[in-house]
Structure formats: C-alpha cells, structure tokens
Structure 1
Amino acid sequence: MAGADSDDNLEKESVSMAAVSSELQRIEVREQMLERLCQTDAHFKHQQRGDPELTLEEKSSIASAILEKNPVTFLSRYCKFLVGEDLEYFSPLKGNYEIDFYLTQISDRLNSTKNKLTVKNRRFQAMKSMVECGEYFSDAEMKWRDPYLYEQMIGQHLTEQERQAEIDKSDLSFSNILMKHLSQQEENQLYRNLRDMEEGQEEEEEESDSDEEDEGVEEGMRQDDCTQAENEGGDQPQISADEKRLLREEFLHIMQERFISGQDRQFDYSTVDGNTDYDSLKIREQDEEERYFDDDDTESMDAVTVGKG
C-alpha cells in the first residue's frame, strides 16, 4: 500500500509540475503577445485632439485589462493584429463559440498570408533561375512583351550601331516573327488605346486653358508649340553610358516585379505557383554551401596529418 501511495504522489506531483510549466509558458506567450500588440497601430483608447500619445506601458495596461475582463472583446478588437504564436494563449478557452470564431478567423488570415508568401517566394526563385539560365528576361524577350516600355527606357537611346548589334540573326524567320507579333498584338492595342485616351485628355485640357487666355498669350503658346514640335522632330539627345545602364536596370526591375506580381498574362504561372521544387532551392543552396566548407575542412585536416607524417 505504501508503494502505491508513493506512486500516486509522484504521479500527482508530475501532473502538478506539468500544469505549472504549462501556465508559465502561457504567461510568457501572453506577455509577448501584449508587447507585440503595443508595437502596432491598434486602437487602445479614445483620445481628444492634442492629447499626448499613449506610451507602450499605457497601451499594455489597457490591452491587459481588456484581456483579463473579457477575452472575447480582446479578440474582437485585436484579432487582425495577432500572430500564430498568440493562439496558444487561448487554447484553454476553446469550445466557446465566440472564441472559436475569432481563432478561426486568425488561422484563416495567417494561412492566406502564408500561401501568398509561398507563391511569391516560388515566383522569385523561378525568376532567379530564368535570369541566370533562360531567355525569358533577355532584352529580346522583354522587348517582345512590352515594346513600348522598352522603347521609352532603352530603344530610343540606342545608337544605330547598338540597334544593329541587338538583332538576333537566328530569330528572323517569318513564322517566328509573326507568332510573336500576334501574341503581343492585343496587349499593344490596349496600350495604344490608353495612350490615345491620355493624349486626348491632355489636348482637351490645353484647349480649355487656351480659351481663357488672351490673344497675345495664345500666340506665344503657339510659337512655343512649334518650337517644341521642331525639337521633337530632331534627333533624341544622347545620354551618358551610366544613364543608359541605370535605365536598363530599371527596365529589368520593372519586368521582374511584373512577373512576380502575376501580371505576365502569357506566362503559365501554374508551373511555378504549385511547384514545391522551388521551396527547396534555398535549402539546397545551404546544403551545397555546408558540403563545400565540410570538404574544405577535411582537406585541411588531411594536409595537417600529412605534414605531421
């Protein structure tokens, strides 16, 4: 009997210690949650104009009081600011309909954010691979995808020699050019329509302004317009090599951002967004780096051993 009582006491003590440990961990989660919450732009208290901003301590005190008095009110007010680690604090309260409702909302939001981040990371890894190994981000391919942006940022600043140098002699078959032309025709037409609309609006604004001017001012404006037209009819002013390089880098950056944001209509994003292979690229890079240093350390040890021999 004594042995059984001793075992029961040990079991109770073990359960008690586990409960204490769990509660201490919950308290730590609570403190971290409140500290994180106070760093956000969440609303803590109605203030009058001119009142000093609340300190972090005041925000924490207000949020803590709400949490202690009514967890449901706390969740309804601050659920959009909570993160996955905070859910652990509310685990003992599960089973309450309102608590479960807000916890589900938080989980759904976090999962949606995680999925969006996963897709963005996969597209970024795919983009890096295509920049290094493929043709998708070559000047020629980007020019086909957005000829107008290319012309504005790069093409108009090329010399005749540079224009000739960028022509791909192996890509001049009629069928290849026709296919690429047709694939871009719809987007190019949309661009032209938008451009014409903007130019039409500008002309209407200029006409409206002109009607309000006197005749002398109108004559001066017409002379300025003629001068501007003459200047535009001439050669484009040459820019420096550094300016050309910066414009080219900016053009590439725009095209890369467009790809990552999913705006390349002709690209099949399903080959990337659902491809888990892109998730392991970073891990593979780390493994290769670790193997490299491991091999380097092994060679160093072998050299030391040979030296001693």
Structure 2
Amino acid sequence: MWGEIEPCIKPDEGENVKSCDTDQRWTHSPDLQQKTALWGEIEPCTKPNTSGNCNKPAPQERCPPETDVKEAQNTTSYSPNLQDEPSSCLSAMIEAIAASGSPVKSQQLGEPDLTLEEKKGVLIDQYKSKPLVFLERYQAHLKPEHMDAFSHLSSDCRAQYYWKEIQRRASGSADRTRIRNHRYAALRALQKEGQYFSEEQMRVRDPLLYEQYIGQYLSEEDILQRSEEAMRNGPGGLADLLINSYQEKLIQNRLEEQEEREQCAVEESDEEECEEPRPAEWEPTAEEKAMLREEFLSQMHQRFLDGKDDFNYSEVDRNPDFDNLDIVSHDAEERYFDDDDQVEEEEEKEEEEEEEKEEEEEEEKEEEEEEKEEDEDMMQ
C-alpha cells in the first residue's frame, strides 16, 4: 500500500545490498550491530585499508644518495679506513712535512718550539679534521707518492688542481736534475778528450774573467810562453799566424767591451756608497797564483753547467748516451776525486821539497858562519 515500508531482506555476509528503492543499507561488521540506516542518519565510515602503501616512505623521509653522503664526509674529514692505523703513505707524508721546517701551529712569543713528535701529532689532527685544507696548506712540501693519502678527495676539483701542481713541480725538478747530470758528464768528457777547457779556449770565451784571475799577473815571459804554446798547437804557417792574430784582436775587443760595462757598474755603485781608499796593487805569490787559476777554472766549469757558454747544449741535454747517469756520474766523480788527490799529492811533494831546500840552505849558512868564526879566531 501507499506509505508502507517494504521489509528489507538481510543480505548475506560480506554483501552490501541496496534494495526496495530506498536508502536503507545493511552493513556487516564484527564489532557493530546490524541496523537499518534511516533517512537523515549518518552512516559510520570504515577506515580504508592502507596496507598496500605502507612500504612507501614519505617524500620527506627519503634518504639522500649514498654518493652524496660519502662526498660530504670526505670533504670534511678523512677516510674511515685510516682511523685505526695510519698507512705507510700517510706516515711518510707526515714525516716529510714535519722535517721540512714548515710552521704547523701558531705559537706565542717565548713559547718553546714543538718537537718533531709534537709536530707529527698536530699534522695528523689537521689531516683528520680537514684534509682538503691540509692539502692546500702543505702542498708545496708534498711529492707525487704522497697523493694516495688524498684518494678519497679524487672527485673534488680543488684537490685535482693541487695534484697537478705537485706533479708539475716534481716533473720540472726531475728534468733539471737530469739535464745537470748530463752536462756534468759532458764536462768531464770535454776535459778528457778535447781542448775545450784549455787556458787559451777559456780566455777566448771570457777574456775579462781570465784577465782578472790570471792575465793581469802574467809576466812578459809568461805571455811569450803562452803565444808559443798557441803556435805549437796550431798547424803552423802564415795562415795560422794570421788566424791567431785575428783571434787575438777579437779577444782584445771583447775584453774592452766587458771592461767598459764593468766600469759603468762600478761607477754606479761608487755613487751610492761612500768612497773608500783603494788598496795598493797586490802581487800574488806563486801559491796564490795557483789558487787563482783553480778558482778561474771552477767558475768556467760552473758557467758551462749553467748553460752560459756558446755551446750546443741540445746535443748533451737530449743525448740518450747520458741516460745511464749512475754509472756516468760515478765514474766521473771518481776521476774528479782521483785528479784532486793527485793534485794534493803533488802539492805536498812540492812543499816537502821546498822545506828540504830551505833546511839545506840554512845548514849551509850555519856552516859558512862557523867557518868564518874559525878563520877569525885563527887570525887573532
């Protein structure tokens, strides 16, 4: 009939059936009693099941990438695998910096200097706390073999820059050492095989230095002897005489130029300083002349090693024949010291001979005086 409410059929468990063209609804819950939802009532809401999404972390709870964490740790502290015991590379690096004399800590005036062990402790702490700052501060004292201690900073562009600087310095130092060793071996070869370091050739290369150490103390006999030796070393004849004359003229011209430059430098220094009385002319003894000659020879050797001679150094610096530097340098040094020993022995012999001569002369004088005294006694 009109106005009647049809009875609703109870649905089966788990079903949610709407019937009778009304808003009545059966709900089934183990904790709630069954009832009919009338008009105007608010149905109880069941909590949705979120078990399918429980494993997804919230966006704000996501962990940062592992690489970012590692980089952040590495730029602020040292590698974890070095915490327990320093590696041999790290120990060698700390030892080198501590022994270099570089200041590792600011100290007050009058405070005692740090011992070597204290310096090592300070350096270890600095390395552990801020390895990048440590690298920047002490990179001038580091060598390529120390770079393994900073392997955990390999992704940092600043560390890469300092690595390149250390490699560049090491490469330049090795090249300079190799070139100097090559030139040293070449110097010994020139001494043994040629006339490059003869007195005449050295005079041609630097006439002013020769004049200051040797030339100004030569007597006329020494100059004549020098000219005769130059003639004997040449092929002889008119052509050789003309060549020697022309070469001597070049030497004199160059000597005048060097003297003019030196005189200008002396005048400038005299204007800045107070004038002092110049010492009287000094005449060296034979022993002093020998010492001056040795000093001149030493300076000419150094001039050759420094690359100041008019010489094709590329034939020496890039010559693979001088690569076996250990053998070449060792042999050259042995010959050098052998020569020094021979010179010293000869000088000692000369000194002994001079002393013996002086003693003999004194004895002869004493004998002559005794004979004179005896003659005078006889006359009386």
Which interval holds the TM-score relative to the shorter structure?
0.5 to 0.7
- State the partner residue of 2:33: none
Aligned mates of 1:24, 1:280 — CA distance in 2? 43
Bigger Cα Rg: 2
Q: 1:24 to 1:241 in 2, by over 3 A?
A: farther
SS of the residue 1:173 aligns to: helix
Structure-2-length-normalised TM-score: 0.56
Aligned mates of 1:121, 1:24 — CA distance in 2? 44
Structure-1-length-normalised TM-score: 0.68
On the 8 A contact 1:29/1:86 being kept in 2, the answer is yes
- State the partner residue of 2:202: 142
On the 8 A contact 1:38/1:60 being kept in 2, the answer is yes
Is 1:44 matched with 2:104? Answer: yes
- Report the alpha carbon displacement of residue 188 of structure 1 after superposing the two structures with TM: 4.1
Aligned mates of 1:260, 1:27 — CA distance in 2? 41
- State the partner residue of 1:16: none
- Paired residues for 1:40-189 under 5 Å: 40-167=100-227, 168-169=230-231, 170-171=233-234, 172-175=240-243, 177-178=245-246, 182=250, 185=253, 188=255
Q: Which runs of 5+ in 2 are unaligned?
A: 1-81, 235-239, 332-380
Aligned mates of 2:212, 2:305 — CA distance in 1? 22
- State the partner residue of 2:268: 201
On the 8 A contact 2:182/2:317 being kept in 1, the answer is yes
- State the partner residue of 2:295: 250
Residue identity in the other structure for 2:113: E
Q: Which runs of 5+ in 1 are unaligned?
A: 1-21, 210-220, 288-309
The CA deviation string for residues 156-183 of structure 1, in whole angstroms up to 9 with x for no partner, is 2233332222221044532355357548
Is 1:274 matched with 2:318? Answer: yes
Paired residues, number: 242
- Report the alpha carbon displacement of residue 184 of structure 1 after superposing the two structures with TM: 8.5
- Report the alpha carbon displacement of residue 45 of structure 1 after superposing the two structures with TM: 1.2
Question: CA RMSD, aligned part only?
Answer: 3.2
Q: 1:88 to 1:174 in 2, by over 3 A?
A: farther
- Report the alpha carbon displacement of residue 250 of structure 1 after superposing the two structures with TM: 0.7
On the 8 A contact 1:34/1:64 being kept in 2, the answer is yes
- State the partner residue of 1:214: none
- Report the alpha carbon displacement of residue 49 of structure 1 after superposing the two structures with TM: 2.1
Identity percentage of aligned residues = 32
On the 8 A contact 2:98/2:116 being kept in 1, the answer is yes
The CA deviation string for residues 240-290 of structure 1, in whole angstroms up to 9 with x for no partner, is 3321221111111001111111112x2121121222212225436879xxx
- Report the alpha carbon displacement of residue 131 of structure 1 after superposing the two structures with TM: 1.2
On the 8 A contact 1:26/1:89 being kept in 2, the answer is no
